[in-house]
């Protein structure tokens, strides 16, 4: 391998959003920073590709970016200067029901509360203080465990967020439909909804919908990764793709090394000289269920029974609170669920550049047992067909990735876990090990900066940013 220099101030391995964020932050501190990526393109979980037919652009992993648009770090970077353009779907989220009706999260908190009938007041009371202060709230929530800058707001949030989604939904909402809407949000935690702190995910995703929207990237998620890489190069950084690092010896000499990988991968990288005690602690890191993901090229828009779903960027297909919880529970316990909870996005409705002519794209995943090699496309399509009869007739081509295939595509998705490790209350703040500065390994100049560190999964770059900032 030939590198431009024999020695760098810092080297980052892995060009996912966290590796890119670490590289940009290091580039502001040091003269020479190298970013090395195994695949041919940068982006990690933030890539787009023509997975089905020519002209159909699909988001391979992440599609909807409330965390990126609100990330205090990404906001500093003014990524529009590097071509990034956000598109806000008319409605962030719809949740259809059996009878052909749907609930939705509008951008406006008021408009959302208005359609929730008897639950409108409870919904408004729950969310208003956080929506009004969303920037402050996010700056405290999306960081490693530390003294909050806004203690009163955080205490108020913490008292609600610490509850289980089940407990909070039952206590606050009378209608089964409002509870189902909340379950669909909280289910992004990927842990059973009666577990402590699952309410946090439901509240945060609703706050994001009202505070900043759930936008997509014009032209595909790759646009965000490319903008980050251009921002890094603009600051003098060097990017090398197509190089898989198996050992420290594969890299040039550097003062600092940052790894955008999860604990299991770090343990397999040779020459790091990590202490036995640290290796033991890293090996206790727990991974969660996987996902099976499908992309479709369609001849037209999805024919939803519920009109609202035709205006939504994201649609949660899972029916009632109990059905959604059962789906998560099965995946968590290592069992297949025959009617899984499905997260679906329909980018081309809002971004015509995603499909040629009158064509459309759709993206969906459901939770499956960790490491499952089973392709459950049929089950996902059954779910969609149920709420949108005639969907199957529109399919021109499709591409599926089982949880096992997801890990082959990107080794950071261990067993298909898209969050870089289980996000239960303990591991949310003790990732990858319990420590005051969890990014530093036992070796003074070696750091881990992937979503297996705080604040965890999602595209926000904050794991990379805090790792590099705290150096
Ligand atoms: C199907 C799916 C849907 C998702 N949807 C969303 C969504 O809509 N919104 C959202 O916010 N998040 C979503 N996510 C989660 C999001 O993609 C991840 O949380 C995020 O990408 C994690 O970023 P990262 O930088 O930690 O790791 P990654 O993005 O996984 O990047 C790690 C990079 O390191 C490289 N690498 C690994 N090992 C080596 C090595 N040894 N040598 C060189 N390079 C290496 C990999 O090739 C990869 O490019 C989704 C994920 C999946 C899979």
Per-residue confidence (pLDDT) for residue 1, from 0 to 100? 66
Separation CA 433–CA 427 (nearest Å): 8
Per-residue confidence (pLDDT) for residue 383, from 0 to 100? 97
Q: Beta 290-298 vs 395-401: how paired, if at all?
A: antiparallel
Ligand 1 atom with the shortest distance to the CA of 36? 43
Whole-number Å distance, alpha carbon 402 to ligand 1 midpoint, is 16
Pocket test residue of 12, 13, 14 for ligand 1, highest count of atoms within 8 A of CB: 14
Alpha carbon nearest to ligand 1 atom 1, residue: 61
Whole-number Å distance, alpha carbon 187 to ligand 1 midpoint, is 19
Whole-number Å distance, alpha carbon 36 to ligand 1 midpoint, is 15
Alpha carbon nearest to ligand 1 atom 6, residue: 62
Per-residue confidence (pLDDT) for residue 429, from 0 to 100? 81
What pLDDT digit, counting tens, does each position of 394-425 carry? 999 999 999 999 999 999 999 999 999 999 98
Alpha carbon nearest to ligand 1 atom 16, residue: 458
Ligand 1 atom with the shortest distance to the CA of 464? 25
> Which residues, at least 6 apart from 333, have a Cβ–Cβ distance to it below 8 Å?
369
Asked if 426 and 454 touch (Cβ cutoff 8 Å), the reply is no
Separation CA 340–CA 380 (nearest Å): 7
Whole-number Å distance, alpha carbon 241 to ligand 1 midpoint, is 15
How much is the CA Rg of the chain, to the nearest whole Å? 21
Alpha carbon nearest to ligand 1 atom 4, residue: 62
Per-residue confidence (pLDDT) for residue 2, from 0 to 100? 76
pLDDT lower than 50: segments of the chain: none
Whole-number Å distance, alpha carbon 376 to ligand 1 midpoint, is 22
**Ligand 1 surroundings by CB, under 6 angstroms:** 13-19, 36-39, 44-46, 61-65, 67, 244-245, 260-261, 265, 291, 293, 365, 406, 410-413, 418, 420, 450-451, 457-459, 463
Whole-number Å distance, alpha carbon 46 to ligand 1 midpoint, is 7
Whole-number Å distance, alpha carbon 199 to ligand 1 midpoint, is 24
Whole-number Å distance, alpha carbon 260 to ligand 1 midpoint, is 9
Whole-number Å distance, alpha carbon 448 to ligand 1 midpoint, is 14
Whole-number Å distance, alpha carbon 353 to ligand 1 midpoint, is 24
Pocket test residue of 1, 13, 35, 45 for ligand 1, highest count of atoms within 8 A of CB: 45
- Torsion 424-422-25-84 (CA) sign: negative
Separation CA 337–CA 238 (nearest Å): 45
Asked if 52 and 398 touch (Cβ cutoff 8 Å), the reply is yes
Q: Beta 290-298 vs 253-259: how paired, if at all?
A: unpaired
Alpha carbon nearest to ligand 1 atom 17, residue: 45
> Which residues, at least 6 apart from 327, have a Cβ–Cβ distance to it below 8 Å?
187, 318, 337, 339, 340, 341, 366, 367
Pocket test residue of 42, 44, 290, 414 for ligand 1, highest count of atoms within 8 A of CB: 44
Q: What angle do CA 325, 90, 395 make, to 5 degrees?
A: 70
Alpha carbon nearest to ligand 1 atom 18, residue: 458
Per-residue confidence (pLDDT) for residue 428, from 0 to 100? 84
Whole-number Å distance, alpha carbon 391 to ligand 1 midpoint, is 30
Alpha helices in 142-245, H assignment, sequence order? 151-161, 165-172, 176-186, 198-211, 222-234
Per-residue confidence (pLDDT) for residue 425, from 0 to 100? 86
Asked if 104 and 415 touch (Cβ cutoff 8 Å), the reply is no
CA dihedral 195, 198, 199, 203 (to 10 degrees): 180
How many residues in the chain?
Answer: 471
Per-residue confidence (pLDDT) for residue 3, from 0 to 100? 86
- 59 forms beta bridges with 48
Q: What angle do CA 224, 67, 408 make, to 5 degrees?
A: 65
Whole-number Å distance, alpha carbon 14 to ligand 1 midpoint, is 9
Helix, strand, coil percentages in the chain from 3-state DSSP, rounded to 5: 40, 15, 40
Alpha carbon nearest to ligand 1 atom 7, residue: 62
**How would DSSP label each residue in 408-444?**
HH-TTSGGG-TTSS--SHHHHHSSSSS-SSTTB-SST
């Amino acid at each position: 391998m030939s590198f431009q220099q024999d020695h760098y101030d810092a080297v980052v391995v892995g060009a996912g959003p966290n590796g890119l964020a670490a590289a940009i932050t290091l580039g502001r501190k040091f003269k020479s920073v190298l970013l090395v990526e195994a695949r041919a393109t940068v982006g990690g979980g933030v890539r787009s590709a023509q997975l089905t037919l020519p002209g159909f652009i699909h988001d391979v992993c992440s599609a909807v970016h409330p965390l990126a648009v609100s990330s205090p770090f990404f906001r500093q970077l003014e990524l529009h200067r590097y071509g990034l353009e956000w598109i806000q779907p008319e409605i962030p989220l719809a949740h259809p029901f059996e009878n052909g009706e749907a609930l939705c999260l509008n951008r406006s908190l008021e408009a959302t509360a208005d359609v929730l009938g008897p639950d409108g007041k409870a919904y408004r009371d729950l969310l208003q203080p956080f929506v009004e202060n969303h920037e402050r709230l996010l700056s405290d929530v999306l960081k490693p465990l530390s003294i909050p800058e806004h203690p009163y707001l955080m205490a108020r949030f913490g008292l609600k967020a610490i509850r289980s989604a089940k407990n909070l939904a039952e206590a606050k909402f009378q209608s089964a439909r409002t509870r189902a809407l909340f379950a669909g949000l909280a289910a992004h935690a990927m842990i059973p909804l009666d577990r402590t702190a699952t309410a946090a995910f439901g509240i945060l995703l609703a706050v994001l919908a009202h505070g900043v929207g759930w936008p997509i990237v014009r032209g595909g998620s790759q646009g965000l990764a490319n903008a980050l890489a251009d921002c890094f190069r603009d600051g003098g950084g060097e990017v090398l793709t197509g190089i898989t690092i198996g050992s420290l010896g594969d890299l040039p000499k550097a003062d600092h090394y940052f790894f955008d990988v999860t604990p299991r991968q770090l343990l397999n990288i040779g020459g790091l000289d990590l202490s036995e005690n640290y290796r033991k602690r890293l090996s206790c890191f727990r991974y969660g269920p996987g996902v099976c993901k499908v992309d479709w090229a369609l001849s037209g828009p999805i024919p939803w029974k519920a009109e609202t779903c035709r205006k939504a960027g994201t649609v949660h297909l899972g029916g009632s609170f109990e059905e959604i919880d059962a789906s998560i529970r099965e995946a968590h316990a290592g069992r297949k669920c025959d009617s899984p909870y499905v997260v679906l996005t329909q980018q081309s409705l809002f971004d015509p550049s995603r499909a040629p002519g009158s064509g459309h794209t759709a993206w969906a995943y459901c939770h499956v047992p960790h490491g499952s090699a089973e392709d459950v496309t049929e089950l996902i399509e059954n779910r969609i067909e149920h709420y949108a009869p005639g969907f199957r007739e529109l399919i021109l081509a499709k591409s599926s990735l089982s949880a096992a295939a997801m890990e082959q595509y990107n080794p950071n998705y261990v067993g298909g876990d898209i969050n870089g490790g289980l996000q239960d209350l303990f591991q949310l703040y003790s990732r990858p090990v319990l420590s005051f500065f969890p990014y530093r390994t036992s070796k003074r100049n070696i750091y881990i900066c992937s979503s297996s560190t705080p604040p965890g999964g999602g595209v926000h770059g904050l794991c990379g940013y805090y790792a590099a900032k705290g150096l």
